[in-house]
Amino acid sequence: MSKIETRGLSLFYGNFQALIDVNVQIKEKMITALIGPSGCGKSTFLRTLNRMNDLIDGIRITGEVLIDGENIYGNRTDLVLLRKKVGMVFQRPNSFPLSVFDNVAYGPRIHGSKNKAELEDIVEESLRHVELWDILKDKLDHSALNLSLEQQQRLCIARLVAVTPEVVLMDEPCSALDPVATSKVEELMAELKKQYTILIVTHNMQQAARVSDRTGFMLLGKLLEYGETRQVFTNPKEKKTEEYITGRYG
């Protein structure tokens, strides 16, 4: 069974249809890249998967999104549980103006780990996971906002890992980072893939080709092509995909 499946998913911002009949099946423990020109609906699609779009006024969604076989737009969905399970990393690192420790401990604390020793374990494990532990273990009480952008982005991933999600959505997670930092985050993604199902939106073709197993190409709200990354990049079925990948689009 696929981890995530959408059936006839459409989304309207008021009268504007931003997603048109998206059907896709995403396998577990793989990295799926979403590419496509600006405004084609990549972020919108990503945000339907943890229902972050619900915050927007005047939005309407039709179709189904199944995660582990359950429709998250059904009326029995617990948003808190859903978002614990489907975490999100944003374009700009959005660490809280708190200490490193409190940033990572934020989720677990609210979800009920009150015990100090338990929290310390979670923080250490999460920071190890994103390879920040050795750098930050003596600076746990420093403000997270003093870290470099790359470290902050890692910290945001650690903060997410601390609530043990199963799916990680990343919306252009490297767009605020320089090339060296980018390649470090990419290495981290390859590592995270062992445990998590990852979806990444990127404008960087090389990045999509480098890190992902599957690639989806979106255009004007439609998922035009979806398949193995190698196939999409070397032998796309759609002419539009080829044009976009080779940089001849628009």
Partner 1 sequence: MKIRAKSHLKISTQTQQKIAFTFLGIASILVIVPVIVIFVILIQKGLPAINWQFLTAMPRMGMRAGGIFPAIMGTLYLVSGTIVVALPLGVLAAIYLVEYARQNFLTRMIEVAIVNLAGVPSVVYGLFGMGLFVIYLKLGVSIIAGALTLAIMILPVIITSSKEALQSVPRSFREASLALGVSKWQTICCVVLPNALPGILTGTILGISRAAGETAPILFTVAAFYLPRLPKSIFDQCMALPYHLYVLSTQVPNVNPKIQYGTALVLVGIVFLLNLVAIIVRSHIRSKKQW
Ligand X SMILES: Nc1ncnc2c1ncn2[C@@H]1O[C@H](COP(=O)(O)OP(=O)(O)OP(=O)(O)O)[C@@H](O)[C@H]1O
User: Of 35, 52, 170, 199, which lies in the binding site for partner 1, with binding defined by CB under 8 A?
Assistant: 52
Q: Which of 69, 75, 76, 97 binds partner 1 (CB under 8 A)?
A: 97
C-alpha dist (Å) from residue 124 to 21, 113, 120, 161? 43, 14, 6, 11
Torsion angle of alpha carbons 132, 91, 122, 187, nearest 10°?
A: -50
User: In whole angstroms, what is the distance from residue 213 CA to residue 244 CA?
Assistant: 19
DSSP 57-126: TTEEEEEEEEETTEETTSTT--HHHHHHHEEEE-SS----SSBHHHHHHHHHHHTT---HHHHHHHHHHH
192 binds, among Mg ion, partner 1, ligand X, none (CB under 5 to 8 A by kind): none
**Binder of ligand X out of 8, 23, 27, 39 (CB under 6 A):** 39
Least gap, CB of 91 to ligand X (angstroms): 8
Q: How far is the CB of 2 from partner 1 (least distance, A)?
A: 22
Residue 173 found at the interface with partner 1 (CB under 8 A): no
The H or E element that residue 180 is part of is helix 179-192
- Does 60 sit near ligand X (CB under 6 A)? no
Q: Which is nearer to ligand X, 13 or 96 (CB)?
A: 13
In angstroms, what is the minimal distance from the CB of 150 to partner 1? 17
Angle subtended at Cα 244 by Cα 250 and Cα 19, rounded to the nearest 5 degrees: 85
Closest distance of CB 24 from Mg ion, Å = 17
40 makes contact, choosing from partner 1, Mg ion, ligand X, none, with CB < 5 to 8 Å by partner type, with: ligand X
Question: Would you count residue 18 as binding ligand X (CB under 6 A)?
Answer: yes
Dist CA 30 CA 196 (whole Å): 7
Q: Which residues have C-beta within 8 Å of that of residue 181, sequence separation ≥ 6? A: 148, 149, 150, 153, 174
Encode 181-209: b = buried (16+ Cβ within 10 Å), e = exposed: bbebbbebbeebbeebbbbbbbebbebbb
Which of 17, 59, 73, 92 is close enough to bind partner 1 by CB under 8 A? Answer: 92
- Binding part of the chain for ligand X, among 12-20, 124-132, 145-153, 155-163 by CB under 6 A, reads 12-20
| Position 111 contacts partner 1 (CB under 8 A) | yes
From 37-45, 86-94, 197-205, 216-224, give the range in contact with partner 1 by CB under 8 A: 86-94
Q: Please tell me whether residue 132 binds ligand X under the rule CB under 6 A.
A: no
Instruction: Give the residue with the Cβ less far from partner 1, 116 or 248.
Output: 116
In the complex, the residues that contact ligand X under the rule CB under 6 A are 13, 16, 18, 36, 38-44, 56
In the complex, the residues that contact Mg ion under the rule CB under 5 A are 43
